Structure 1
Amino acid sequence: MIGTTRTKGGLLILAIIIGLIIGILVPVQTSVNTRLRGIVGSPFLASLLSFSIGTVFLIVLTLFVEQNFRLNPGVWSEPAWIWIGGVLGVIFLTGNILLFPRIGGVQTVIMPIFGQVLMGLLIDNFGWFSTAVTPVSPSRLLGAGFVLLGVVGTVALGDWLAKRRHPEQAKPVDPTIYGWRIMGVVMGMMSAAQAAINGHLGVVLDSAIKAALISFVVGTVTLLLVNLIVRTKWQFDRSLPTPWWIWIGGLIGALFIAGNAVIVPLVGAGAAVVIVTIGLLTGSLLIDRFGLFGAAKTPVTGVQLVSLGLMIVGIVLIRL
């Protein structure tokens, strides 16, 4: 009994460590792909390179873990939407590349998180994408309220307090930033839909890794077509520094998918979301605070920390 308890405790600690690491890596992926976009000159081309590298990694992982690429025959009788997860992933990844230089690392993370919470509540309440129906309860609504307060506090409260204290230093707000923030929320909603679709695909295939591979292959083909349609020209700006890490964005994306496939069976989907979200927020704060991966340095304020804490409380209420 003691040995079993210790084993379970060890697996829980391992799941927490993996969840935090893959969460921290997500804003790193956005920073890396944004830097790659600056070098190759196109967000679509940067996304294509990222998806292609992730696809190669998942092919190797599938061969190592599953040892075959066979699909269960039942997958062909599923609804057509089961194949669009990769398309939604393309929108999310490319959108992040566009958002990061405009609203910073923290907001590029928290606006999609808010969208994910909203879409997650809708998916659960109505049972979309063949998920189990989980009606909206008072505690889940309260959690959504905490998340909203956290978003407002992070995005607006800090700026408002700064203007109150130092009105002479206040800078006019670019009205286009609100459009970018809304775009971030919409992207988050698509990301939540992608997660539900890939989750169902993983159940049908009896393999989360094969579902991730299909998602990446669909995303890669989609981006290849997009680049052909818009006639993206390959360019490589050799005047800019090209550190080795600009190529790891796709690898990080694949590790995120694989990491989730590992920890969800160990701690459950709800706890996995909470752990990964804490990692996400931590990674975005570190990138902004220290200007990592070419990001502009942005001081982390007490208001931001409190607001992010409210978001975590809200997500715990919703998911657990």
Structure 2
Amino acid sequence: MLLVGALITLQSRVNASLAGQLGDGLRAGALAAVVSFGSGLVLLSAVVLSHPRRRAGLRRVLDALRDPADGADRPRLRPVHLLGGLGGAFFVASQGIAVGVIGVALFIVAFTAGQSVASLVVDHVGLGPGGHEPVSRPRAVAALFAVAAVTVKVLGDLDGSHLGLSLLLASLALVAGCLQAVQQAFNGKISAVGGPLVTTWNNFLVGTSALLVLLLVSFLAPGHVDGFPSQWWYYVGGVLGIGFIAISAVAVQIHGVLVLGLCSIAGQVVAAEVIEVLDPSVDVSWLGLLGGLLAVVGVVVALATRRRT
């Protein structure tokens, strides 16, 4: 689950860099998102559709949508559960649009803040495969630790001269974080029926379809595309997405949405710190180290709460 967070941070950096290389405006961000999701969809289609066991998982998902489970009045899965990929599409699109302007650190603080709060709500209303998990005081404290961790890390990063634009793009990341919590809950339900790879394939199919629509709409907005970069690492965003979606689809069934979210937040903070250390143009501050420590404390509190209940 820590690896999930590290992959999310790395994907944010890669997709934002790809958008910057492609051009400018919404068009470049949308095209970068289509490249990221589309490449993942092609790879996953080859893996899922060519394997009898994976195709059987697809059939189980379709059966769960049609047939009642154990005499229940409604199916084990509802059509809305298949739409988790929309959250992933929104997240990847926001990476290409926002990270190049406000930076990966501020993007992550807004994203993880939304993810932390929404995870509490998602568990409380029972959207995840584990059913209803009430908001206890320790769980709320753990979420606050996570929000405090990423807030401390990017303290003072808002640019006063472009405050309105920064807040708007940070709000975009905040909504992406909220949708991420819902996506993880829906993915857990599908994974319990069809398996993690089938779940991930469904996410990429739905997400790529939505991003293609966004790309078409982007031609109505200002912007331009200059061309595709030649370096291979600009195109690994889809593979990174496959990794963190598949891991999340399994982990959410065991630990719940909140614990998965908190662990991934810790991974995001640590990975962001490593990226900054490796970047000679960035000075690592003590606030960043303190933020990483707070994130780890939040994870420990959440896991301890999980064991007691």
Which TM-score band (shorter chain)? Answer: 0.7 to 0.9
Q: Which residue in 2 is equivalent to 1:95? A: 94
Q: Which runs of 5+ in 2 are unaligned?
A: 67-74
Cα distance in 2 for residues equivalent to 1:31 and 1:151: 17
Q: Secondary structure at the match of 2:162?
A: coil
For residue 203 of structure 2, what is the amino acid of its counterpart? S
Distance 1:262 1:109, change over 3 A: same
User: 1:113 touches 1:188 (CA, 8 Å); kept in 2?
Assistant: yes
Report the alpha carbon displacement of residue 199 of structure 1 after superposing the two structures with TM.
1.2
User: Could you say which structure has the larger radius of gyration?
Assistant: 1
Question: Equivalent residue for 1:56?
Answer: 42
- 1:183-225 deviation line (CA, Å, top 9, x unaligned): 222210111111111111222x331211110111011111122
The offset of 1:309, in angstroms, is 1.7
Q: Unaligned 5+ residue runs, structure 1? A: 1-18, 161-170
1:1-320 matches, within 5 Å, as: 19-41=1-23, 42-62=28-48, 63-64=50-51, 66-68=53-55, 70-72=58-60, 73-76=63-66, 77=75, 78-128=77-127, 131-156=130-155, 172-176=160-164, 177-203=166-192, 205-231=193-219, 235-237=225-227, 242-261=230-249, 268-269=255-256, 273-291=261-279, 297-319=281-303, 320=306
Number of aligned positions between the proteins:
283
Distance 1:138 1:289, change over 3 A: same
Distance 1:258 1:305, change over 3 A: same
Change (3 A) 1:306 1:173: farther
CA RMSD of aligned residues (A): 2.9
Secondary structure at 2:55 match in 1:
coil
TM-score relative to the length of structure 2: 0.80
Q: Distance in 2 between matches of 1:147 and 1:256?
A: 19
1:151 and 1:276 mapped to 2: Cα distance?
12
- Alpha-carbon displacement from aligned partner over 1:213-260 (angstroms, at most 9, x marks no partner): 01110111111222234448994436xx53111111111111222334
CA displacement 1:39-64 (0-9 Å, x = unmatched): 33311111111111111222233245
1:258 and 1:95 mapped to 2: Cα distance? 21
Residues 278 and 130 from structure 1, CA distance in 2 versus in 1: closer, same or farther, beyond 3 angstroms? closer
CA distance in 2, matches of 1:66, 1:147: 39
Is the 8 Å Cα contact of residues 19 and 29 (structure 2) preserved in structure 1?
yes
Summarize the Cα distance change of 1:260–1:121 in structure 2 as closer, same or farther, 3 Å threshold. Answer: closer
SS in 2 for 1:132: coil
Q: What is the TM-score normalised by the length of structure 1?
A: 0.77
**Contact 1:106/1:285, CA 8 A, preserved across alignment:** no
User: Contact 1:53/1:250 (CA < 8 Å) preserved in 2?
Assistant: yes
Give 3-state SS (helix, strand or coil) of 1:174's partner.
helix
2:262 and 2:302 in contact (8 A); partners too: no
